[in-house]
Amino acid sequence: MPIVTLLTAPARRLLDPALVEALRNAWGGGAVQWLAPDEAAEFEVPEIPGNRWEVWADVQAQGVDLVVQPRGGRRKALLLADMDSTMIRQECIDELADEAGVGARVKEITARAMNGELDFEGALRARVGLLKDLPVSTITRVLEERIDLMPGGKVLLATMKANGAYAALVSGGFTDFTSAVAADLGFDENRANTLLSEGGRLTGEVGMPILGKQAKVDALVEITGRLGLSEADVLAVGDGANDLGMLHRAGTGVALHAKPAVAAQCDVRINHGDLTALLYLQGYAASEFVTG
């Protein structure tokens, strides 16, 4: 039987019990299980409701995310995550561009690429080219001063890993950033592009081959094969057009605070919750979260 999950931002706790009960009654659902008071709840339904997207739009306006998915196999054995605007709040290349004085131009290209309007590889080369001659030391300063983790990330990783899951950070960004973020959050491995440098300055070129949309799918296939898992065992999360391949292949693909054109192609959309939403989607209650 499908299961309906309703959740909201942890900082606001806007999930009204009356809303949950009204929806349960309308859809002929089973008993409500509260995963976190006023924040996350779930209930089974006999079938996927025909009006779920109309209801989804209604509850979105109330600051609530709604997901309908199969109940079986929800707890995943592999987390495959994008980095920029997913595990961290920022786009690393945009932050570097600000330091190089070309922020506005690079941000425009990034936004169009993530929305699927531009070829990812071409857009990456163009943006990296604008960083030519930027001191390599700028990367460390950006990491220390301009990069913030997305809320809920450490709890997501700690909880899934405590329950036996493997975690891989797969980014179209750069290894200088993914290695640091992966170590901070507890990822088992990370994959990304390489910024080339010479004499302590960026050359304006990126190492080949470029890791784009297909590389994320390849990572899913390779890692599941290595670990003896199926694609159904994967929870993938991302926000950009280059994430769609892995989001569609994974057992559960989550569009997190995604670009509209990306979210429209995904059945699981989280716009209000933080990364702990991925735990609620797997049926974890807040009392099961690993926070230390």
Checking if the pLDDT of 292 tops 80, the result is: no
Candidate list 84, 176, 243, 274, residue with the active-site label = 84
Whether 9 shows a pLDDT value over 90: the answer reads yes
pLDDT tens for residues 236-274? 999 999 999 999 999 999 999 998 889 999 999 999 999
Known catalytic residue at 243? no
Enter the pTM of the model: 0.95
- Residues in CB range of 248: below 8 A, 6 or more apart: 265, 266
What proportion of the chain, given as a percentage, has pLDDT over 70?
Answer: 100
The string of pLDDT tens digits covering residues 203-224 is 999 999 999 889 999 999 999 9
| Cα gap 107→252, rounded to integer Å | 29
Which listed residue (16, 58, 65, 82) is catalytic? 82
Rounded to whole angstroms, the Cα distance separating 178 from 184 reads 10
Residue 116 confidence (pLDDT): 86
In order of their start, the domains of the chain are 1-72 (3.30.70)
Residues 144-197 pLDDT 10s: 999 999 999 999 999 999 999 999 999 999 999 999 999 999 999 999 999 999
94 is catalytic: no
- Work out the percent of the chain whose per-residue pLDDT is above 90: 92
188 DSSP assignment = S
Residue 53's SS3 state is: helix
Tell me the pLDDT tens digit for each residue of 54-76. 999 999 999 999 999 999 999 99
Q: How much is the pLDDT for 33?
A: 98
- pLDDT recorded at residue 259: 87
Q: What is the pLDDT of residue 281?
A: 98
Q: What is the mean pLDDT of the chain?
A: 96
Beta-carbon contacts of 183 under 8 Å, excluding residues fewer than 6 positions away, are none
Nearest Cα neighbor of 80 from 268, 257, 251, 276 is: 251
**pLDDT for the residue numbered 113:** 86
Question: What letters, b where the CB count within 10 A reaches 16 and e where it falls short, cover 226-237?
Answer: eeebebebbbbb
